[in-house]
C-alpha cells in the first residue's frame, strides 16, 4: 500500500559515534524523501564527527575514524540537510527515541534554527512493537518476506524501514486493537494517525525530561521535582533554571525550558 500523504515524508537512519544523545555525533546519515506524488529523493553522506567513534558503535556499523576523517562536518552540511527536510514529516525505526532527538541536537550545535517538534513523526519500530514485538530484521522478514543482507548500512536500513511501513499498512488495514484500554483502528493510511499511534509518550522535549501531565501542563520528569509543574519549580527555586542550563542536558531540553520560561514572562 502506498502512503497517503498530505506532506512529503522523510525516512531517515543515522549511524553515530555511540548512543548518547547529548555527547555522541552523527557519522553517516541517509534520508529518503517520499513526495506527495510518490516520487523519491535521496540524500546520503558520511560526516566527520570531530570525535572518536566508540568501539561498540564500530562493531555495529563498521565505520572507522579513518573512514570519516576527511568528510565534512555536520555544521558544514546542516543547512543542506535542513533544506532537504523542509516541510516534511519524519519517519524511521526507533527514530522518536534516538534518530530525531540526535538530529535535533546536531542542528542546535550548528546554529540552524529548525524545530523538529513541529513535524509529525512516524516510528515504524513502535508500530511493529505494539503489533508484533520484534527487530527491524525480523520486521523486514515478516512484512516483506525478505532477509536483510546489508543491515546497518544507513540507506539500506532506511529503505527497509520504508518498505516495512508500506507492508504494515497492507497487513493491518482496518485492524482493531486495544491501546491504553480503548479500541481503535491503529493502522490508517494517514500520517497524523500513524504519528499518534507510533508515539508512546507525551514528551515536551525529545529526551522526556519535561512531559505534559494529564492537564496538558509541562512538568519535570526526573529528579527531586519529578511530576511538578515547570513554572512552579522555577518560581520556587530560582537557581534551578541556571543549574539545568549549565548541566549535561540535551540542547533541545534547554531550549524547551527557556521557551516555557519566556512564554510565561510574556503573559505577565
Could you read off the pLDDT of 192-247 as tens digits, one per residue?
Answer: 988 888 876 789 999 999 999 989 999 999 999 999 999 999 999 999 999 999 99
The pLDDT of residue 178 is 58
Left if phi > 0, otherwise alpha if psi is -120 to 50, otherwise beta: which for 133? Answer: left
Tell me how far apart the alpha carbons of residues 259 and 248 are, in angstroms, rounded to a whole number. 18
Bin 82: left if φ > 0, else alpha if -120 < ψ < 50, else beta.
alpha
Output the nine-digit C-alpha cell for 125: 519500530
Tally of helices (H runs) and strands (E runs) in the chain: 11, 9
Beta bridge partners of 227: none
Whole-number Å distance between alpha carbons of 41 and 225: 45
Per domain, the residue ranges of the chain are: 9-197, 210-267
pLDDT at 177: 63
The gap from C-alpha 223 to its chain's centroid, in whole angstroms, comes to 24
Residue that the C-alpha cell 505534559 belongs to: 212
Output the pLDDT for position 47: 97
Query: What is the grid cell recorded at 9?
Result: 515524508
Q: Name the nearest CA neighbour of 58 among 11, 14, 17, 106.
A: 17
Q: What is the mean pLDDT of each run of 10 residues along the chain (268 residues)?
A: 93 96 95 96 97 94 95 97 96 94 95 89 90 81 86 86 93 70 66 83 90 93 95 96 95 96 86
Q: What count of other Cβ atoms lies within 10 Å of the Cβ of residue 38?
A: 9
For position 13, what pLDDT does the model report? Answer: 96
User: Please, are residues 121 and 91 in contact by the beta-carbon 8 Å criterion?
Assistant: yes
Output the pLDDT for position 182: 52
Provide the pLDDT for residue 173. 81
Predicted pLDDT of residue 194: 87
Closest CA to 195 of 102, 130, 127: 127
Q: How many angstroms separate the CA atoms of 101 and 95, rounded?
A: 8
Query: How far is the C-alpha of 85 from the C-alpha of 63, rounded, in Å?
Result: 25
Cα–Cα dist 29/100, whole Å: 12
Domain 9-197, CATH number (from 3.40.50.720, 3.30.470.20, 3.30.420.10, 2.40.40.20): 3.30.420.10
In sequence order, what are the beta bridge partners of 92? 123
pLDDT at residue 117 in the model: 85
Amino acid at each position: 500500500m502506498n502512503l497517503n500523504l498530505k506532506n512529503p515524508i522523510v525516512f531517515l537512519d543515522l549511524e553515530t559515534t555511540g548512543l548518547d544523545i547529548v555527547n555522541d555525533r552523527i557519522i553517516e546519515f541517509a534520508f529518503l524523501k517520499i513526495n506527495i506524488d510518490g516520487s523519491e529523493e535521496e540524500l546520503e553522506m558520511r560526516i566527520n564527527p570531530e570525535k572518536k567513534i566508540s568501539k561498540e558503535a564500530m562493531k555495529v556499523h563498521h565505520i572507522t575514524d579513518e573512514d570519516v576523517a576527511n568528510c565534512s562536518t555536520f555544521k558544514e552540511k546542516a543547512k543542506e540537510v535542513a533544506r532537504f527536510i523542509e516541510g516534511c514529516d519524519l519517519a524511521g525505526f526507533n527514530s522518536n527515541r534516538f534518530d530525531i532527538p540526535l538530529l535535533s541536537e546536531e542542528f542546535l550545535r550548528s546554529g540552524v534554527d529548525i524545530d523538529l517538534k513541529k513535524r509529525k513523526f512516524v516510528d515504524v519500530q513502535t508500530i511493529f512493537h505494539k503489533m508484533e514485538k520484534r527487530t527491524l530484521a525480523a520486521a523486514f522478514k515478516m512484512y516483506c518476506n525478505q532477509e536483510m543482507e546489508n543491515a546497518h548500512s544507513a540507506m539500506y536500513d532506511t529503505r527497509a524501514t520504508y518498505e516495512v511501513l508500506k507492508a504494515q499498512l497492507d497487513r493491518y488495514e482496518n485492524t482493531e486493537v486495544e491501546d491504553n484500554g480503548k479500541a481503535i483502528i491503529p493502522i490508517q493510511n494517514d500520517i497524523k494517525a500513524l504519528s499518534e499511534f507510533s508515539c508512546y509518550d507525551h514528551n515536551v522535549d525529545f529526551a522526556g525530561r519535561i512531559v505534559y501531565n494529564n492537564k496538558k501542563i509541562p512538568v519535570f520528569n526526573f529528579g527531586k521535582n519529578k511530576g511538578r509543574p515547570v513554572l512552579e519549580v522555577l518560581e520556587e527555586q530560582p537557581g534551578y533554571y541556571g543549574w539545568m542550563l549549565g548541566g549535561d542536558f540535551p540542547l533541545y531540553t534547554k531550549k524547551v525550558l527557556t521557551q516555557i520560561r519566556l512564554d510565561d514572562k510574556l503573559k505577565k
